[in-house]
Chain A
Amino acid sequence: MTVAVNSSQTGEPVFYLADEHPHPEGYSTSLGFWIYLMSDCLIFAMLFAAFGVLGGNYAAGPAPKDLFDLDLVAVNTSMLLLSSITYGFAVLTMQQNKVGQTQMWLAITGLFGLAFIGIELTEFAHMIHEGATPQRSAFLSSFFTLVGTHGLHVSCGIIWLVTLMVQVQKFGLVEANRRRLMCLSMFWHFLDVVWIGVFTFVYLLGVLR
């Protein structure tokens, strides 16, 4: 402010710098990561659109009603939901600087994530064994692309989680590790949000159709 006033008095050109003070390292990381998540959201939106358009084209093959076991999907959904709350506990213990407890909750989160991936792969294997492969119909192509992309994200999240556990073990809850854990927190909860769309639009509406 004062700079602008002085300059206008002397008649010299006025320069405005919106960002004049230096920011600490990682200052913009969470916003940048959020924007990445939004672009990821667009990827999933396209896959949902493809499924919405093609989801009814069975090519005389199996329909959702013949393939989906809602009990299994309910178990899978609860695995992901439980992993979300345990990640929340990991964040809370991280904020209290309890390294051991943070590691424990991260490990539990990872186990729930592995259970989710395991159940999903079992379901895929079962479907493929019954001849419901991605090549069978447009419905199955779009189904495997959408649900498989989500599963791939969760798998990457688990790898990231293990990496961060090693980091925390080596360097403790330093500022950089806290920032990384908060990014993974956003990623993990975001995947749970996408899964809400998957179980509603793919599984529940599929069985209803």
Chain B
Amino acid sequence: MNTDTHAAHAGDHHHDDGHAHSTFSGYMLGFVLSVVLTAIPFWLVMSGTLPSKQITALVIMAFAVVQIVVHMVYFLHMSPRSENGWTMMALIFTIVMVVIALSGSLWVMNHLNSNMMPMHQMTGMK
């Protein structure tokens, strides 16, 4: 309330809902970054520029992670301060759950596949 600059940097205000700091330049920056971060992985896969599929897969996954962060910051206005940090806490908890569920499922099911190898090899034989 004291100065205009303070209002412009809102978010640390107690009852602020964490949305006051959406700006045109913020949205445009997020949009341009998203377009670039979307176009590059599509181009990599469609043109097959990189020498191996494993490298391409790793690179496009890295691009996805960066783009998710860009969306979180510029479109969803995530910041450690919004809602006194509770949105960030909920997000961190969710990320931990998602990582455990995803990596756990893939890991366990992959081992299950390995243990059923004879069957797998039989179906794999041509």
Size category, B interface: 35 or more
Task: Report the separation of the CA atoms of residues A24 and B15 in the bound assembly, to the nearest whole angstrom.
Answer: 9
List chain A residues, Cβ under 8 A from B24. Answer: 92
B71 A49 Cβ-Cβ under 8 A: no
Flag if A42 contacts B22 (CB, 8 Å). no
Q: How many contacts between A and B, using CB within 8 angstroms?
A: 120
Closest A residue to B43 using CB positions: A74
**B82-96 near A? 1/0 per residue, CB < 8 Å:** 010011001101100
Once the chains bind, are B60 and A30 in contact (CB under 8 Å)? no
**Which of A31, A84, A91 is in CB contact (< 8 Å) with B22?**
A91
Bound form: Cα–Cα A74–B71 in Å: 18
Of the candidates A45, A197, A204, which one forms a contact with B42 in the assembled complex, judged by CB atoms under 8 Å apart? A204
| Segment 164-195 of A: residues with Cβ below 8 Å from B | 182, 185-186, 189-190, 192-193
Q: Is the Cβ of A53 less than 8 Å from the Cβ of B109?
A: yes
Could you say which residues of chain B place their CB within 8 Å of the CB of A48? 102
- B53 contacts the other chain (CB 8 A): yes
**A85→B68 CA distance, assembly (Å):** 15
From known contacts A30-B17, A81-B38, infer whether A197 and B94 are also in contact, taking CB-CB under 8 Å: no
**A95→B75 contact, CB < 8 A:** no
- Chief secondary structure at chain A's binding surface: helix
Query: Is B114 an interface residue when CB atoms closer than 8 A count as contact?
Result: no
Helix, strand, loop or mixed for chain B's interface?
helix
Nearest CB of B to A161, in Å: 16
Asked whether B8 is an interface residue with its Cβ less than 8 Å from the other chain, the reply is no
Residue in B closest to A206 when the chains form the complex, CB atoms: B45
Q: Could you list which residues of chain B lie within 8 angstroms of chain A, going by C-beta atoms?
A: 15, 17-19, 22-24, 27-28, 30-31, 34-35, 38, 41-42, 45-46, 53, 56-57, 60-61, 63-64, 67-68, 71-72, 75-76, 83, 86-87, 90-91, 93-94, 97-98, 101-102, 105-106, 109
* Further 15 A-B residue pairs, CB within 8 A, beyond A31-B90, A48-B102: A24-B15, A41-B94, A42-B101, A45-B98, A46-B101, A49-B102, A53-B109, A84-B34, A84-B71, A88-B31, A92-B24, A189-B76, A200-B63, A200-B64, A208-B45
